Copies of this chain bind each other. A is one copy, B any other.
Amino acid sequence: MSVNLRAPDPAQLHPVAGVRVGVAEAGIRKQGRKDLTVLLLDEGASVGGVFTQNRFCAAPVQLCREHLAQGGGIRALVINTGNANAGTGEEGLRAARQTCEALAGLLKVAPAQVLPFSTGVIMEPLPADRLVAGLPAAVADAQPAHWARAAEGIMTTDTVPKAFSAKATVGGAEITVTGICKGAGMIRPNMATMLGFLATDARIAPALMQPLARELAEGSFNRITIDGDTSTNDSFIVIASNRAVNAPITSLDSADGQALRRALADVARQLAQSIVRDGEGATKFITVRIEGGRDGAECLKAAYAIAHSPLVKTAFFASDPNLGRILAAVGYAGIADLDQTRIELYLDDVHVVTQGGRNPAYREEDGQRVMKQSELTVRVNLGRGAASETVWTCDLSHDYVSINADYRS
């Protein structure tokens, strides 16, 4: 089940010049499914990336950081599902290195020019031999038009592949942006999400790639939460193949830089939201908007308290306007001097709470009507200032429990 999310139409996913995508079956955990994906980049591409803040970060995340720091010009990304290669110690690092070396050998590049990504079960040894054996088929499959296959190839508990694409005019030329990502549990990205890959053919100064990746994550993957669990493997990568004919972007604040950021941010936000729409067991897509905070940080505290509360999330699942639970979550969000008598609460346009108490004009049937929608906005005004923040989340259903109780079996 997912909320208003359709599998991408391959014809709507624009190829990005200089990027080829291939998938293969490596039998890493299960037979008969595509579990190995490669993104091959022509020479001249530049790459930025942000990764999980989880201290127990996976071996591939450690290698990604190391390889990006070496600045040798990334030429390939390799992604396996079925095994996260996390909590696997030294042996896990060796397996990730072996993967990079094998792909580098096939492509005649250096191992440090390969970025590895893994997603799946934690704390089980990565079957690197099977993965390596699958690489030639993935490389042979690589085509510019294969983004939809890759979106399928990186799925774990996702029920719908996630890919979005756009074209924009930047620096006097048309540029293309195409991205894929996966969820669907252990989602409370902190600097980046599970796995997200965004590619553009735009010409961008390499030094801008890292701040660009950070900014894009902040407005998209860092604003979603499903279950509040920050994964060990979260990675978000932005690729510029530099093959478009736009005037090169040398500043993110120039008019061209802003046009580029808008185009990229738009696809990044759609990707991030698609993870929530396909959140484990999700039946509703919920926008939590906090206004009237003193600063963004306290708005985020309140937004995440609501978005993580199991009581709020089960009430959404039940379409029950048991809205006191939202007030309770705001109350324990950790805003020390919050004055409850200044709180206003809206469900879409229905004004539920005024001055911290039930709005006399509020009628339960109005709350009920909004709660029954598959998409709705919870809007809270803290009455303390001018800052605001938005977070996207989903409800907590029986299926979340089923999916996570049964995931390994």
What residues of chain A have their CB less than 8 Å away from a CB belonging to chain B? 53-57, 84, 86-92, 121-125, 185-186, 188, 190, 227-232, 308-311, 314-315, 317-318, 320, 322-325, 327-333, 335-336, 338-341, 343, 353, 355-358, 396-398, 400-402, 404-409
Q: What residues on B are CB-neighbors of A343 within 8 Å?
A: 56
Check if A185 sits within 8 Å of B311, measured CB to CB: yes
Chain A interface, >50% SS class: loop
**Which of A185, A358, A405 has the most CB atoms of chain B within a 10 A radius of its CB?**
A405
Contact in complex: A87, B123 (CB < 8 Å): no
- 3 smallest CB-CB distances across A and B, nearest first, come from A122-B324, A89-B357, A56-B331
Query: Do B123 and A353 have beta carbons less than 8 Å apart?
Result: yes
Partner of A356, one of B89, B125, B328: B89
Q: Check A328/B232 contact, CB under 8 A, given A87-B358, A311-B186.
A: yes
Please measure, in the bound complex, the distance between the C-alpha atom of A274 and the C-alpha atom of B382, giving whole angstroms.
36
Partner of A353, one of B84, B87, B308, B408: B87
Asked whether, in the complex, the Cβ of B228 is within 8 Å of the Cβ of A308, the reply is yes
Chain B residues with CB under 8 Å of A54's CB are 328, 331-332
Min C-beta distance of A152 to chain B, whole Å: 24
Contacts of A323 on B, CB cut-off 8 Å? Answer: 123
Establish whether residues B87 and A332, one from each chain, have CB atoms under 8 Å apart when the complex forms.
Answer: no
